[in-house]
Structure 1
Amino acid sequence: MSYLDRTLKILADKFAQDYIKWILSGSFMLVEKLTTEFPTITRYADLVYKVKDKEGTQYIFHLEFQAQKSKDPMNLRMLGYNVRLLEQYKIPVYSTVIYLTEEAYEEDQGYFKSIFLGKEVLIFEYNVIKLWELDGLSLLKERILGLYPLLGLTKLSEPKENALNNIIKEIKRIKDPIISKDMLFSFKVLSGLKHSRDLLDALIRKEEIMESAILKEIYEEALQEELKKGLELGRLETLQSNIMGVLISRFEVPYKTEKQLEEKIKSIKSIPVLQKLHIDAVKAQSFEDFLKLLEKLEV
């Protein structure tokens, strides 16, 4: 699973009430996050919550982020999720899909209709949000923190660099330093779907996001997954890729050095050694410290 999926999952979990407020209105409150039992709902971007209105009536709120085109028709997927959730929890379900980019969107009208002999025998509707059509400044003014990381994917004024920088300044004004760093990291990850890495690196320095709790949680989850997978086909390549991903995310690595290091990492064929290097990449205080640890290893 990618850093993008992990970031979306953690972000939506930490700020679930913000998404509920934005999509369902402030009259709904989070009751609990639900863990589905369906094999079809295993993607990290699929999130299911139990919510309640002011009268205490409970509902299921299903949220999905879509960053790439769906292999199956989205309306059928959403219908399948809705029916299974309704069958399990026996309370009304409201589904929403948030398209992160235009490339992921395929004329999704937000409904499924089945007609038999000229009669509509099934009508199912769900909510569709296309970020690139939303005004970023208007969303920013709503002061809903959980939405801040999405703002780089909204409709922004020209020049884009100035608009992005204004959002970043607002994120840095958040009083809680932990939340501010989490927002900054998530904003950079998600904005990378639309804006160049060079531009984002210029606007957000690596040291500004290194202490993000979300970033650390992603690293820890990735590390735990690798430790549990066992020896399997492609694991060497996965570990090697993860090590490079951590280093590039955390430190300013010159391009020439990056390529030389990548060759060095790819030459290591020992899974225990790569696991140790992955841990070192996560914990190293600087890129130079990691290189020293790499030199000490017997490979």
Structure 2
Amino acid sequence: MTATSATGATEGFRAARDFLLQHREDYETAYEGFAWPRPDRFNWALDWFDVIAEGNDRTALHLVEEDGTETKVSFAEMSRRSDRVANWLRARGVRAGDRIIVMLGNQVELWETVLAAMKLRAVVIPATPLLGPADLRDRVDRGRARHVIARAEDTVKFDDVPGGYTRIAVGGDGVDWLAYEHAADESEVFTPDGATLADDTLMLYFTSGTTARPKLVEHTHTSYPVGHLSTMYWIGLKPGDVHLNISSPGWAKHAWSNLFAPWNAEATV
């Protein structure tokens, strides 16, 4: 587990979250009395997720595949998994501020990777697996990506995407790609190498590009993690709930309702 414990930022976040839970059925009071927590330093993965995950065997993530097979990961296990991935990525050269294209489906590795990147203060560029080589060239170039994590079956799409970025494959080795599965051999003890400022960049989303070239939209370590307390309230999530959201990875709604809102509430994704 990460060498971390509840901080002032944790308690400020918890107080705001609990106020919304307390007034779940009283919108006027919630609207009038709610105040956004505004910490100077905040890392949602360390200051919130790892704190609620300590010793917590309740299910954080429940995946059901088309063939009926199921995977359940507890909060405590997700914390440990993300620590191992963070240690492994750091050993592969991932540093604070580095930009990582994450092109995965709804699979355990997606949630592990986002938490791990957050702990490293790296920047996540979410990408749908539907993207082709032309889109990926644009994302690597304009996103200034230094690392790519993709499903093994999608690695061929990067054959014509130039750049000196680290290539990491999930689900089997691609040619000249590192195998993500080796992260499981890393230590579960993770030590952050620096403080996370609240306005440090956390995610860079590319817009859909419906009418022009896709644009990059920046989100910080507070804008999504703290901002989606509102989504938690609007959806009505409470601790112990199970929430199904059908958004695909790569779209912003996936972060809102498959990551931050339910785990803000200590609910199951």
TM-score, normalising length: structure 1: 0.27
The structure that is helix-richer by fraction is: 1
Compute the TM-score of the two structures, normalised by the length of structure 2.
0.29
Larger RCO (alpha carbons 8 Å, 6+ apart):
2
Quick check: which has more Rg, 1 or 2? 1
